[in-house]
Amino acid sequence: MERVTRREVLGGSLAAVASVAGTSSFANEEGETAPLSGDDWIELECAIKEMVLDGNRVRLRAYNDQIPGPTITVTPGSTLRIRMKNSLPPYDSSAWDGDHNVPHGLDHTALHLHGMDVLPHLFVPLGTSDPLAPMIKIPPGEHLDYVFEIPEDHPPGLNWYHPHKHGATAVQAVSGMAGPLIVKGALDEVPEIKAARSIPLVIQDIGLFPSEDDPDLWTYEPVQNAIWQTYGGYVTINGERTSLNGGFTTGDYKLRYYLLNGEPFFRETHNDRTNEDTSPVPAQLTPQRFTLAPGEVVRFLMLNGSSDNLMPIVVDGHEVHLLAMDGVNFPQVRSIPATGYSETDGQLLLAPANRAEFLIKANATPGVYQIRQIPHDRQFLDSAAKVIAEIEVKGPAQDMALPGELPVPNREYPLIKPEEVSRVRQIVFTGSVPGIINKVVGGDYLINNAIYSEMEVPTVVDLDGVEEWHLSLKDAHHGGAEGHPFHIHVNAFEVVSIGGIKQPPGLIQDTIWVPLNETVVVRMRFKQYTGKAVYHCHILPHEDTGMMQNFLIVDPASRHDHS
């Protein structure tokens, strides 16, 4: 078992519907579900869901009437077939001027399997290599069938699915539309892991404003072109102040909840003090509690499915025995001490969209221990300390074993050697507030000084090519204001260094936090699939308003005038 510090670690016909085949609802512990077979179909239906959160009546959006959405379980070598049915109500975008980076079309949707090594699936048709291919937009009342062949060597681990219709992703996701996707495989057969209970920790945020037509309802249904002004607490349309209760936001909400497995554990309310750079008013709610026997080993599967919140995580009084990041396990368990961890990064640093799978061996001393987020100020607004869940250690003692060696995830090994790199690229996050390009939103969110364009492909890479990307974010004088999480579709990458600090080999991720005024170096091989895909900031309001770019994976034998 390898001991490292946190800074070093991260420094057709439907044969069955989702409720009965290959899926389950997330309760406090992971239900056993049969893997999907090649004959299974899953239906995911997105629709409005009304419920009560913390005593407030809320109108949300959900997959199959569940928040989080139903758990999808697959195995390497299987075929995943999903019918994505859109039952959202119509939305009036008649005032939209056609600017792709102004939120719009909140009634259209698309599906993304985040972290899965499958064919590109954001553009029409699935897997297209046409650089001029448009994005998928499923209208209300329609459906689209997605078919994915899961590679035989796909790593086992925790991934997830969420909407990815440009201009509507943030609103739909922060209303509840997201769910876990678990690949079962060799890691699950390690005796010490197989013997451990598996507990999901699916974290989501729910952003809300008072309804425009029901005084007793909270929802997120911004009028077209309505923008919430965090500093001031009012709504504008094209720069003019209105009397609307809510609008699209790149900052806070009137009311926001953080959920664990669908239950609220933390509340934020807008700070109404005017003319001050103020952060939301925080309130801790009663967290869920998991009971462990002294010496019991439990496997936690944690997803930071929040729309924008960076989460430095600590499990009080316990070593964290890290198995995997972003659905790819290490060849050896990496144990992070219970003390001496970074006061800013915690034992684990989870950017929005990151996943961590880890074991905890319950402390020999009975008591209540917290799983918590450390407070920080590395984003637009301060993120307060949060108790996500509690572990109560009690009962007869056990002495369960921890694993050491883990199965090698062959899709990612052997690791890339420096001499294999054929090209180095610079990816720079920039922006400005107030906006010069995106005047409706009032802020510019850019990559390499460019706002997203659906029909432009600034990056072309070779199938089986190896590249090194330097992801950076300059200071405030060069368009930097806060950190950004970088995410790329289709293939994962190895994290080589963060802020000049070399990382232990084998840290494979698909999303990585890029700190302000630092550079993150990653290497990737573009395996198996050609096609048009995207990379972007995974702060969803930034993505929706332009902090995204297309890239094209081409077979070098067919390359002509691409560069």
Is the confidence at residue 562, as pLDDT, over 60? no
**How far is residue 192's CA from residue 403's CA, in Å, rounded to a whole number?**
6
The pLDDT of residue 39 is above 80: no
pLDDT recorded at residue 554 = 97
Q: Band of the pLDDT at 17, cuts 50, 70, 90?
A: very low
Which three-class secondary structure string do you get for 530-541?
Answer: CEEEEEEECCHH
DSSP per residue, 267-284: EEE----SSS--PPEEEE
pLDDT range class, residue 140, cuts 50, 70, 90: very high
What does R_g of the chain's alpha carbons equal in angstroms?
Answer: 22
What mean pLDDT comes out for the span 145-171?
Answer: 98
> What are φ and ψ of residue 187, in 5° steps?
-60, -35
Span 413-419, average pLDDT: 97
Largest Cα–Cα distance in the chain? 69
Q: What is the mean pLDDT of residues 480-487?
A: 88
The pLDDT confidence band at residue 11, using thresholds 50, 70 and 90, is very low
Distances (CA, A) of 36 to 12, 82, 127: 16, 11, 22
Residue 437 has a CB neighbour count (10 Å cut-off) of 18
**Residue 22 — pLDDT band, cuts 50, 70, 90?**
very low
Q: pLDDT category, 545, cuts 50, 70, 90?
A: very high
How much of the chain exceeds pLDDT 70, in percent? 90
Residue 132 tokens, joined: 């001029």
Lowest mean pLDDT across 2-16, 257-271, 424-438: 2-16
Average pLDDT value for the chain: 91
Query: What is the model's pLDDT at position 482?
Result: 85
Mind listing the pLDDT tens digit for each residue in 90-116? Answer: 999 999 999 999 999 999 999 999 999
Residue of 358, 446, 434, 459 whose CA lies nearest to 402: 358
Q: What percent of the chain has pLDDT over 90?
A: 85
pLDDT at residue 283, as a whole number: 97
pLDDT in tens, 177-229: 999 999 999 999 999 999 999 999 999 999 999 999 999 999 999 999 999 99
In this model, does residue 1 exceed pLDDT 80? no
How is residue 552 annotated by DSSP?
Answer: E
Which residue bears the tokens 């090994």?
Answer: 413
Q: Where are the beta strands (DSSP E) in 165-277?
A: 179-183, 197-210, 218-219, 226-229, 234-237, 240-241, 255-260, 263-269
Least confident of 30-39, 136-145, 330-339: 30-39
Quote the pLDDT of residue 35: 37
- Residue 5, pLDDT score: 39
Residue 481: its pLDDT value, please?
74
Which whole number is the average pLDDT over 406-420? 97
What burial letters (b/e) apply to 290-329, b meaning 16+ CB within 10 Å? bebbbebbbbbbbbbbbbbbbbbbbbbbbbbbbbbbbbbb
Average pLDDT over residues 13-27: 37
pLDDT in the model for residue 8: 39
Q: Give a three-class secondary structure readout of 21-69.
A: CCEECCCCCCCCCCCCCCCCCEEEEEEEEEEEECCEEEEEEEECCECCC
Cβ–Cβ < 8 Å for 555, 465? no
Q: Could you tell me the CA-to-CA distances from 147 to 19, 39, 120, 185, 552 in Å, in that order?
A: 19, 11, 11, 20, 21
With a cut of 70, say whether residue 20 has pLDDT above it.
no
Q: Tell me how far apart the alpha carbons of residues 431 and 117 are, in angstroms, rounded to a whole number.
A: 30
Confidence category of residue 276, pLDDT binned at 50, 70, 90: low
Q: Between 111 and 432, name the one with better pLDDT.
A: 111
Whether 14 shows a pLDDT value over 70: the answer reads no
What does the pLDDT read at residue 476? Answer: 55
DSSP letter assigned to residue 415? P
Taking the C-alpha atoms of residue 495 and residue 513, their distance in angstroms, rounded to an integer, is 11
